[in-house]
Structure 1
Amino acid sequence: MSEEKVFPMTAEGRDKLQAELEDLITRQRPEITNRIQIARSYGDLSENSEYQSAKDEQAFVEGRILTLKKMIENAEIIDPNATAADVVSLGKTVTFKELPDEEPETYAIVGSTESDPLAGKISNESAMAVALLDKKVGDKVSVPLPSGESIDVEILKVEK
């Protein structure tokens, strides 16, 4: 039997997934069911675009519900206190700068399910996070780029 995939995430990330699941089940699913019933009343389903659209949306929502249930069921909640305060780990926020003298950047390192780089959250599976994990303030690390080159960064600060 294959082992279930574990989804590392913060408690906040799990709560967001739970809220999305709750919304899908209690609000969106009934709305779609209602739209399907209304569309059925229009008659011939073979040429009924409202019906087909609602059925497509229903399939998407049901798939998302299954995905969210699996992710929540297999969530591994990250404890940022499990490592020393100055060590980069999941659930912590790290400030670093590209060497020699770029502006500092700050990101929280989170599980892939809650990654949102524009909101300052990078996945623990990203090249940047992989290079930074388990390093300390003051460490200089090389981060591989997709082009095959790399950049050097210095860790300036680690916060919980």
Structure 2
Amino acid sequence: MKIRMALCAVLLTFSPVQASDDTPEAVVHALFDAMRAGDGAAARALVNSGAALERLQADGSIKAGSFEKWTAWIDAQSPGDADEQIFNLETFSSVAGLATVAAPFVIHYKGELVGCGVNQFSLALTSEGWRIIHGIDVPHIGDCTTYRDEVEGQ
């Protein structure tokens, strides 16, 4: 019996297992942790090369951007300058290897509340793990001071 338990322990130690934190939600959380740290390289490591980052404007137009520009901006920030808090994440996946994460947010810049809304990220399970392949957000039209309470109270 002791030999079986020891063998199981050895197999569990060396078995290739997907890391428990390598989920679409964990990647999105890590993205904003990197932003808060002012670490563009850490953010870039979570995003597929060439991924678009867009914003749905109030008038219905889409403002195009890129994660490359955003992560360069992150590199120019000091730790704590940009503090985007995400909450109430919802993940949708109907096909193995693809997921969409909706992440409401409230963002402070240098201590001042500057916006709120919803981020939506498309992710793919690559050979390196889950990676963001597209991002879009829509700003909330209304009072950002009460937005989080409103969303969490739903």
Asked if Structure 1 and Structure 2 have the same fold, meaning a TM-score greater than 0.5 normalized by the shorter chain, the answer is no
Structure whose CA Rg is larger: 1
The structure richer in strand per residue is: 2
